[in-house]
């Protein structure tokens, strides 16, 4: 009898707190002051219905914590799996979290309500990380799990704005038309995890965490497993790589020119930026001129690379990129410490409106000396030659230099000083560049993989630098 009396007293206290919360409404909460700093997150004291309940169809869930809480960005953090049509109403007051469900739930289904990092205590803002409430409309809780890692295939880096989604395998078009049954956010370490999954087979995809949660744009980051996966309590961890099937194209501005022949055409000078810094040309890169608008050559007034006596040199090329038509490239096998000139005549380049540079330009520069560069000796182990690996030296996730790995020793004679992140591209088709993936009804092709290594290559000027690289760690 004493046991039941204790339980009755506890329940009366629980509902008394709930009633108090309703009566106080939005009263201001003043946390106590003084004493040692609270470093512990709040924890669940009791829930109604209780956590892990079976055979229920709750319309309301009330969760009590050991201290006053706040729920920041709750709708952004909340994940209900499997998904329901209407987002539940959530109210956090005092030490209570109230969840109102307005949908009819599926029969014999395990539902998990994940709050991410939304729940914090009021006093110190200690986060209750990864809090999950679970229940079942049937007579058991599903125990299936799925975890893994996601990386961007082209760079090997992590993007925590992505989600992993699960779709039934009987709907091939679901990724294009339907919202997923289950989804999990990718964290800052690239990891994802599903819990309380049914023992079923799902197709697995990766998408940006936008409202649609569908593959409705081929410029989106996207990833997929080649084959559906059977979920169990011991499902193997999965590695997924995302890619953009097509690059985003800048929208062209509308042409505002008039066809009125009586309007006098105003000719303005084209503006461009030179790649040369401090009048010194890098020995390892091309000289470039970058324009604000697309340009074309006027063959009657060619751009000329000369020596200091204005004598044209041989074996150089001048070209315009085919994509944007805004980049003019001068390619030449530069020799160290050599003064040179690039002559750009006034009418050498025109835009679509026949604008040209305001005056002829002579760009004077000198090539850098060999002493301005360092050399590198890279010892490579653990590579697989059949994958045609390429060593990538990157800065800000952009490839600065690349070297095919054909043997265990790579000698690089010239490199600009600085720190380079090291990556390896598995160039499986051996074409020398990274290739994206494809996913449609006819073709399912994974992207080529770039692995980010932990090693950093530090280059000092006029110094031989060494690094040991282990690819398959």
- Highest average pLDDT, of 7-11, 74-78, 229-233, 255-259, comes from 229-233
pLDDT > 50? residue 378: yes
Render pLDDT for 57-76 as a digit per residue (tens, 0 to 9).
999 999 999 999 999 888 88
Q: Give me the mean pLDDT over the 46-58 stretch.
A: 96
Render pLDDT for 35-49 as a digit per residue (tens, 0 to 9).
567 789 999 999 999
Can you tell me the distance from the alpha carbon of 305 to that of 327, in angstroms, rounded to the nearest whole number?
17
User: Is 191:206 a contact under the CB 8 Å cutoff?
Assistant: no
Can you tell me the distance from the alpha carbon of 446 to that of 204, in angstroms, rounded to the nearest whole number?
13
Q: Give me the mean pLDDT over the 216-224 stretch.
A: 95
Can you tell me the distance from the alpha carbon of 396 to that of 421, in angstroms, rounded to the nearest whole number?
9
Q: At 77, give phi and psi (nearest 5°).
A: -90, -25
Torsion 280-281-287-288 (CA) sign: negative
pLDDT > 70? residue 355: yes
pLDDT band at 15 (very low <50, low <70, confident <90, very high): very low
Render pLDDT for 120-164 as a digit per residue (tens, 0 to 9).
999 889 999 989 999 999 999 999 999 999 999 999 999 999 999
For residue 173, the model assigns a pLDDT of 84
Q: Give me the mean pLDDT over the 425-437 stretch.
A: 95
Q: Give me the mean pLDDT over the 394-401 stretch.
A: 92
Counting Cα atoms < 13 Å in the Cβ hemisphere of 272 gives 30
Q: Give me the mean pLDDT over the 318-340 stretch.
A: 96
Cα(first)–Cα(last) distance of the chain, in Å?
A: 63
pLDDT band at 228 (very low <50, low <70, confident <90, very high): very high
Can you tell me the distance from the alpha carbon of 85 to that of 88, in angstroms, rounded to the nearest whole number?
9
Which domains, and CATH codes, for the chain?
40-141 (2.60.40.1220), 144-242 (2.60.40.10), 272-371 (2.60.40.1220), 373-470 (2.60.40.1120)
What percentage of the chain exceeds 90 in pLDDT?
73
- Nearest-5° angle of CA 455, CA 459, CA 464? 105
For residue 268, the model assigns a pLDDT of 58
């Amino acid at each position: 009898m004493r046991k039941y009396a204790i339980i009755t007293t506890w329940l009366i206290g629980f509902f008394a707190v709930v009633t108090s919360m309703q009566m106080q409404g939005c009263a201001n909460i003043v946390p106590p002051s003084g004493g040692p700093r609270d470093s512990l997150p709040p924890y669940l004291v009791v829930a109604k219905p209780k956590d892990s309940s079976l055979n229920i169809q709750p319309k309301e869930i009330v969760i009590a914590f050991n201290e006053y809480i706040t729920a920041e960005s709750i709708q952004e953090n909340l994940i209900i799996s499997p998904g329901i049509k209407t987002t539940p109403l959530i109210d956090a007051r005092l030490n209570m979290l109230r969840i109102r469900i307005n949908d009819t739930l599926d029969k014999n289904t395990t539902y998990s309500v994940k709050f991410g990092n939304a729940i914090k205590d009021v006093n110190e803002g200690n986060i209750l990380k990864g809090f999950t409430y679970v229940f079942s409309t049937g007579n058991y809780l599903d125990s299936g799990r799925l975890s893994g890692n996601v990386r961007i295939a082209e760079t090997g880096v992590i993007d925590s704005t992505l989600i992993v989604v699960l779709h039934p395998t009987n709907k091939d078009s679901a990724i294009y038309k339907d919202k997923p049954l289950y989804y999990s956010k990718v964290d800052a370490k690239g990891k994802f995890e599903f819990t309380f999954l049914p023992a079923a087979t799902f197709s697995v995809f990766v998408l940006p965490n936008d409202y649609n949660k569908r593959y409705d744009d081929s410029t989106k980051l996207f990833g997929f497993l080649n084959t559906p996966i059977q979920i169990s309590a011991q499902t193997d961890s999965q590695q997924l790589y995302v890619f953009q099937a097509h690059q985003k194209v800048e929208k062209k501005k509308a042409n505002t020119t008039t066809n009125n022949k009586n309007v006098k055409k105003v000719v303005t000078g084209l503006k461009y930026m030179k790649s040369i810094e401090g009048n010194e040309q890098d020995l390892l890169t091309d000289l470039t001129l970058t324009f604000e608008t697309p340009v074309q050559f006027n063959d009657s007034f060619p751009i000329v690379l000369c020596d200091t006596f204005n004598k044209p040199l041989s074996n150089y090329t001048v070209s315009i990129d085919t994509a944007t038509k805004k980049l003019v490239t001068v390619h030449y096998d530069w020799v160290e410490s050599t003064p040179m000139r690039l002559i750009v005549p006034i009418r050498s380049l025109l835009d679509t409106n026949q604008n040209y540079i305001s005056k002829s330009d002579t760009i004077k520069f000198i090539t850098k000396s060999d002493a301005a560069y360092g050399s590198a000796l890279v010892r490579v182990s653990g590579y697989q030659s059949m994958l045609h690996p390429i060593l990538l030296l990157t800065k800000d996730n952009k490839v600065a230099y690349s070297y095919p790995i054909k043997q265990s020793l790579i000698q690089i004679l010239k490199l600009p000083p600085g720190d380079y992140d090291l990556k390896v591209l598995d160039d499986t088709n051996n074409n020398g560049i990274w290739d994206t993936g494809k996913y449609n009804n006819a073709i399912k092709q994974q992207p080529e993989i770039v692995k980010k290594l932990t090693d950093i290559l530090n280059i000092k000027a006029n110094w031989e630098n060494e690094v040991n690289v282990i690819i398959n760690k």
